[in-house]
């Protein structure tokens, strides 16, 4: 028998249909309902009417997708737009992925994100409180003074037990609902300028016809969008974009350039170039001349050969705006390859100066970070004799001002360079006797370390986007009087909250900081106290 080739039948294209947006979700997407399904649609505001096209996830067929109750969709045509919709404030807004919520007022975006966080926390409270309290539910089988084998006794006992358990379940439900109601609204929402606030960024590099272009990634395709100005960057960083574009194209080793990072501090501005090979001497001289002309601290992240001939990536300071000319021209770090911190590059944290390098992680929004540090100090109430554990401590953003307030602080971070620099910052701010820093991977076994065996009055945590799953388990067993958790990922925070609530903690308060206006991100701060307190 001859087998003839038959082309595989393609699934029919999804058809567009009309919807009305009723609300926004935690990511700022429009929420629409159609024929029993909920659709999340980007670039759609409450009250707007549009035709939308459902989107299929990778590996999902149309037949399977039709069974789902929740789906995503994209707008194919606007029928009625909201008067709140904002005009593009940047010529690259439709290409660059840096400001996905720029079309809506910042107040509306913030309220949507905070409302979404409240729903997540409420769910965590319901789950965690029920788990913590259910162990106290009555297991009574009743009692009776009648004979041992009396059927009347058994009936009375069963009825008595049922009544007790019903009463306990009602009490448990009431306690759970009360706890959930306490977190249904944020205690505060801090916001600031939505333009000109970003003091740190990474510029990607693209090569075209032998020329380098610096820019940001496009939102959906990840293609590079060249930029010469960005509305959310600080004026000082904007002023560096075009000169840097010219500079990188004069370098002999420009093909070795991976990316460029910019940092605007309360002192000088910093520039970091990531190289795949060590810079040529001629390029070092060009970079130093550029740094001197533009009054920036400039360093390179490049391969470095250690004394045992192994190669690592290290940061090398090429020009320090805060040093004398002879010192600024020194091309090498110390004998261990360790970067010497610049005296001109620092961010203010409370009453402390946190010295850093161009590669250092700092909160991108100076105004919001200042408010967040103040909120942490308000919650911790540092004083002499108090012991505070700061997990994921970084350069000492929270640990240093807490120690300045009189408390004894132990800071923990996985990055040894961060720990070394935090220790330097403790000395520079006169709190080395009260602030100690150690290296530990908080997602791996660390409980045997000496600092982990100590007792603490307060624990402060500021984990990355993955949250603090293992660290929360440790803290729950540690049982400090108060826990202050900062999170940039509400989903991870909600998961970690459930563990603390199950360990008989309660959320005393929580609030939000609009650290990243015009984006889907939100920073939250939660305060936990022990129920016995």
Grouping H, G, I as helix, E, B as strand and the rest as coil, residue 197 is coil
Distance CA 231, CA 238 (A): 8
| Active-site residue, from 99, 230, 488, 497 | 488
Cβ–Cβ under 8 Å, residues 257 and 205: yes
What is the token pair recorded at 98? Answer: 């840096």
Q: How far is C-alpha 280 from the chain's CA centre?
A: 37
Q: Helix, strand, or coil here: 265?
A: coil
Q: Which helix (H) or strand (E) holds 388?
A: strand 387-391
Closest CA to 82 of 34, 35, 23: 23
**Rounded CA gap, 530 and 505, in Å?**
4
Helix (H, G, I), strand (E, B) or coil at 121: helix
Q: What is the 3-state secondary structure (H, E, C) of 434-491?
A: CEEEEECCCCCCCCCCHHHHCCCCEEEECCCCCCCHHHHHHHHHHCCCEEEEEECCHH
Spatial separation of the C-alpha atoms in residues 262 and 373, rounded to whole Å:
23
C-alpha 22/C-alpha 45 separation (Å) is 8
DSSP notation for 22-80: -EE-TTS-EEEEETTEEEEETT--TT-EEEEEEEPPTT--HHHHHH-SEEEEEEEEEEE
488 in catalytic set: yes
Task: Tell me which residues are annotated as active site.
Answer: 488
């Amino acid at each position: 028998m001859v087998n003839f080739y038959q082309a595989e039948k393609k699934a029919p294209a999804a058809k567009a249909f009309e919807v009305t947006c009723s609300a926004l979700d935690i990511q700022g997407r429009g929420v629409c309902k159609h024929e029993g399904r909920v659709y999340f649609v980007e670039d759609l505001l409450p009250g707007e009417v549009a035709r939308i096209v459902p989107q299929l996830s990778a590996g999902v067929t149309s037949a399977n997708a039709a069974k789902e109750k929740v789906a995503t969709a994209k707008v194919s045509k606007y029928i009625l737009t909201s008067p709140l919709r904002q005009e593009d404030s940047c010529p690259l807004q439709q290409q660059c992925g840096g400001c996905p919520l720029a079309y809506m007022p910042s107040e509306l975006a913030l309220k949507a994100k905070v409302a979404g966080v409240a729903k997540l926390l409420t769910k965590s409270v319901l789950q965690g409180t029920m788990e913590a309290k259910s162990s106290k539910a009555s297991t009574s089988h009743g009692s009776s003074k009648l004979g041992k084998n009396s059927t009347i006794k058994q009936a009375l006992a069963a009825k008595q037990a049922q009544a007790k358990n019903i009463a306990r379940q009602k009490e448990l439900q009431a306690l759970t609902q009360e706890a959930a109601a306490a977190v249904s609204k944020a205690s505060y929402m801090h916001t600031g300028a939505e333009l000109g606030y970003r003091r740190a960024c990474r510029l990607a590099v693209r090569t075209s016809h032998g020329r380098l272009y610096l820019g940001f990634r496009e939102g959906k395709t990840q293609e590079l969008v060249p930029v010469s100005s960005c509305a959310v960057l600080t004026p000082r960083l904007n002023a560096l974009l075009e000169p840097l574009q010219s500079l990188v194209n004069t370098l002999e080793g420009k093909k070795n350039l991976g990316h460029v990072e910019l940092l605007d501090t309360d002192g000088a501005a910093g520039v970091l170039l990531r190289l795949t090979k060590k810079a040529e001497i001629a390029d070092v001289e060009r970079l130093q001349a550029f740094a001197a002309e533009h009054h920036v601290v400039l360093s390179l992240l490049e391969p470095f050969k250690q004394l045992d001939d192994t190669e690592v990536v290290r940061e090398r300071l090429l020009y320090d705006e805060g040093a004398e000319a002879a010192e600024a021209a020194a091309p090498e770090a110390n004998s261990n390859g360790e970067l010497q911190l610049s005296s001109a590059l620092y961010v203010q944290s409370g009453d402390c100066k946190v010295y850093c390098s161009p590669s250092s992680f700092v909160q991108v929004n100076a105004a919001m970070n200042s408010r967040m540090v103040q909120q942490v100090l308000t919650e911790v109430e540092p004083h002499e004799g108090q012991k505070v554990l700061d997990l994921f401590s970084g350069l000492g953003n929270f640990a240093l001002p807490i120690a300045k307030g009189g408390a004894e602080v132990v800071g923990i971070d996985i990055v040894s360079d961060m720990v070394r620099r935090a220790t330097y910052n403790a000395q520079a701010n006169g709190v080395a006797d009260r602030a100690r820093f150690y290296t530990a991977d908080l997602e791996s076994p660390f409980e045997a370390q000496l600092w982990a065996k100590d007792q603490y009055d307060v624990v402060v945590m500021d984990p990355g986007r993955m949250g603090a799953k293992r660290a929360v388990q440790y803290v729950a067993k540690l049982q400090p009087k108060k826990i202050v958790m900062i999170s940039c990922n509400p989903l991870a925070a909600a998961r970690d909250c459930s563990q603390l609530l199950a360990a008989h903690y309660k959320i005393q308060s929580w609030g939000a900081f609009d650290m990243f206006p015009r984006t889907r991100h939100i920073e939250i701060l939660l305060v936990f106290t022990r129920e016995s307190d």
